[in-house]
Amino acid sequence: MPVNADFQGRVYPPTSTYTVSAAKIREFAEAVGSTDPVHTDAEVARSRGYADVIAPPTFAVLIAQQCDAQLVTDPEAGIDYSRVVHGEQRFVHHRPLTAGDAVIGTLHVDGVRQAGGHAMVTTRAELATEAGEALCTATSTLVIRGEQ
């Protein structure tokens, strides 16, 4: 089943809340090799004007991929996950993700096109606090390899 091109323009409902924790920020910072104490020491973060420790910029992918999962697992989308390759990821941060943030994400399917026998799907996850404060726009391109 090919990827359903009619999904371009679709917007999924907001995800369940992801609460950003200092422990998850620390784990992520260690995993990506960040040594900046703003990710692990609340006093340092506060001295730099933040309410608590802040996440490394790519931390947003944890929440954005929960958004993308709505599309990938939608049977009508026609996406065979075993054929998915992550093509590109971009972030526009409106402010850093901070420990204590309660984040929801809304997924937009911005593009579905065929290229060289493969499908290219571009998604945009708008991450915001439950109160509606914009945090990050995460744009992703998924390549769904053709069967050839």
Q: What is the pLDDT of residues 27-77, one digit of tens each?
A: 999 999 999 999 999 999 999 999 999 999 999 999 999 999 999 999 999
| pLDDT-derived band at 1, boundaries 50, 70, 90 | low
Global pTM value: 0.93
Whether pLDDT at 115 is above 90: no
Task: Indicate the fold that domain 5-21+57-145 takes in CATH.
Answer: Thiol Ester Dehydrase; Chain A (3.10.129)
DSSP of 58-120: GGGHHHHHHHHHHHHT-GGG---GGGEEEEEEEEEESS--BTT-EEEEEEEEEEEEEETTEEE
User: Which position has the higher pLDDT, 116 or 49?
Assistant: 49
What does the alpha-carbon distance between residue 108 and residue 111 come to, in Å, rounded to a whole number? Answer: 9
Q: For residue 94, what pLDDT band results from cuts at 50, 70 and 90?
A: very high
